[in-house]
Structure 1
Amino acid sequence: MRKFQVAASALALLAACAPARQGAAVPEPAVPELAVRGPARLMTWADLNARPQPTPSVEVKWGEGATDIADIWLPEGRGPHPVIVMVHGGCWQKSIADRTLMNRMADALRNQGWAVWNIEYRGVDEPGGGYPGTYLDVGAAADVLIERADAWSLDLNRVTGIGHSAGGHLVLWLAARAKLPGDSPLRVSNPLAFRGVVVSGGLADLEASRPAAPPTCLDAIYDQLTGPPSPQRPDPLSDTSPARLLPIGVPVISVNGSEDRIAPPMLGDGLTRKAEAAGDTAALIVVPAAGHVELVTPGTAAFSAEAEALASFVKER
């Protein structure tokens, strides 16, 4: 298994994972704050919210639902632009966070030449959220790009994804949709294709994440998120947990803060091992002296690692 500490020499190795060419302040989270360990002080959500809040190029209302919204962040130039599909976290609960959590990261990546599609979805605490609504929202929002690529000069041959925390689960699920069971209500015939995915402090393996994450983040809403078992669907993880869909044929890089109490590095390590054992290309980057917030904060070592990881997916070989 490739496991890197953040350093220039390590990040250069990420190119090996590239496939052949084929507004408002975020509310304080209702999960425990990260503790201070050692000499370094970990960032808090208040630190992130104190930074200026940039705005997207366009807010797009793509459907009739209240959360059928996404923001497009377009870089300068004519394109066609490489694309990042971005999915926010917040423990799958809108009372904790919405897509504006990712605005600063989206702006920083736009300034690096990416078109960023930052999507919204129903949380489990909203009407129709959970299974299957949350997944249907995320899938439909991603597939809007297939219809609108020409209008925004997007290169759909260079689509990557990044998701933070619960968004790490959802973005990897997006990349795995071609492997969904044929009888799943979540399956679509021609989903958006990804060149690679960055799981940022992610809870992508629901079974492994349930005991590791704070109880209010996943265990308390687990049944809503996965849906009930039934004779037709005896295993609720069969179409909700990306770990059950491996191999997905897409490179996966997990980035974890060494001091993250919400998504500890053991989760990234476990996902990487499972992906490699299934035959996928996978790597783990552990960022020293970083927690959960650093992962979505431009200017940090964690952000730099994620930006280089995303770029590695679209490099020509």
Structure 2
Amino acid sequence: MRHALLLALLLAAAPAAAQRMRPADVDKLPSSPPTLTEAYGSAPAQVGDLRLPAGAGPHPVVIIIHGGCWWKGYAERKNTAALASRLTERGFATWNIEYRQLGEDGPDGKNGGDAGAGWPGTFQDWAAATDHLRALAKRYPLDLSRVAATGHSAGAHAALWVASRHKLPKDSEIASPDPLKIGAAVAIDGPPEPGLEREAFEKGCGVPAVTRLFGGTPAQQPRRYAEGSPQALLPLGVKSGVISASLFLSPGAATKWVTEARAGKDIASALIVDGTGHHDTIAPGSPVWPQIEAFLVEQLKVSP
């Protein structure tokens, strides 16, 4: 009954979810309460919301990573709460995570957001949150053989990176000794290759987001960009999808991802959406949502 009521509320919100939604509009969309909010680390931002679908399980799992230019004050996980709720309605357990972001003075007086944000801390947060599913699966009916990841905008890059990190060299600062296997990943209107998209992305954000995340330009930090760029790590051996709706992921960049992924024998698909807004892509009830949802549900399915 609670799930049916939530769906009715989401559909009733459709008129408010007009094109060109703002982040605050998406934050206000109805969402279901999490089954659990739990820390995956000691920093205040290292938390996530777990939502479980109806039924006994074990349930396939989708890690959800919000956007916001990796910059404090732009977006938090409430921006993807409606997305998480809707995917939970569709039968996925969802783990909607928070992470350390750039943009505010840290304790050391440097402009670096929460202490440890940027390189390597923000990448390490995405990794730690992902691997925390092993702890959650000991208490909740999660099927760790069917784990996928999706993210919006800057979180789109993070979702693809989470799915690519098993390709990192062992001596990388952002490598994990035993990364949880990801079977599928979908990037919702965000860059698979931040170095290539750096100028356009930073123009859209209005802050030097990519440069600050990697601690310099691609010329200054070539290894970081190589290890932090999912595109540079292709092929991944992971099914992937990309959704292009704005300058944050151009149709050309989406096509480049699919072409290069398929060249490495990966399964990859793209959805190019015209005439919509960047945030409409994560807003259940928006005009573009039916095709977004259909693409997400299909692409996020993982065969055990």
Q: Which residue identity is paired with 1:309?
A: F
Partner of 1:296: 282
Provide structure 2 residue ranges, at least 5 long, that are not aligned to the other structure: 1-17, 104-112
Residues 255-308 of structure 1 deviation map (CA, whole Å, 9 limit, x = unaligned) = 122xx2433333222222222233322111112322211111013464434433
Q: Which amino acid in structure 2 is aligned with residue 122 of structure 1?
A: R
3-state SS in 2 of match to 1:208: coil
Deviation at residue 253 of structure 1 after TM alignment: 0.6
Alignment of 1:1-317 (within 5 A): 41-125=19-103, 126=113, 127-215=115-203, 217=205, 220-227=208-215, 234-257=222-245, 260-300=246-286, 302-312=288-298, 313-314=300-301
CA offsets 1:169-189 (integer angstroms, 9 cap, x no match): 011101001101221021112
The whole-number CA distance in structure 1 between the counterparts of 2:40 and 2:85 is: 21
Partner Cα separation in structure 1 for residue 241 and residue 287 of structure 2? 15
Q: Which amino acid aligns with 2:196?
A: A
What is the alpha-carbon root mean square deviation over aligned residues?
2.4
Deviation, structure 1 residue 41: 4.6
Q: Please say if residues 93 and 123 of structure 1, whose CA atoms lie closer than 8 Å, have aligned partners that are also in contact.
A: yes
The aligned residue for residue 106 of structure 2 is none
The change in CA–CA distance for 1:74 and 1:278 in structure 2 (over 3 A counts) is same
Identify the residue that residue 30 of structure 1 maps to in structure 2: none
User: Contact 1:208–1:267 at 8 Å: present in 2 too?
Assistant: no
Judged with a 3 Å threshold, the aligned counterparts in structure 2 of structure 1 residues 295 and 95 are, in CA distance, closer, same or farther, namely same
Shift of 1:53: 4.7
Which segments of 5 or more consecutive residues in structure 1 lack a partner in the other structure?
1-39
Preserved CA contact (<8 Å) 2:202 2:210? no
**Bigger relative contact order, structure 1 or 2, given CA contacts below 8 A and separation 6+?**
1
Seen in structure 2, the aligned counterparts of structure 1 residues 308 and 129 have a Cα distance that, compared at 3 Å, is: same
Matched residues in 1 for 2:217 and 2:189: separation? Answer: 28
**Contact 1:228/1:236 (<8 A) preserved:** no
Letter of the structure 2 residue corresponding to residue 59 of structure 1: T
Identity, in percent, stands at 34
User: For each residue in 1:201-228, what CA deviation from the matched residue of structure 2 results, as whole angstroms up to 9, or x when unmatched?
Assistant: 0112112211322426387133321135
Classify the secondary structure of the residue corresponding to 1:269: helix
Letter in 1 for 2:295: A
* Matched residue count: 274
> 1:75 touches 1:110 (CA, 8 Å); kept in 2?
yes
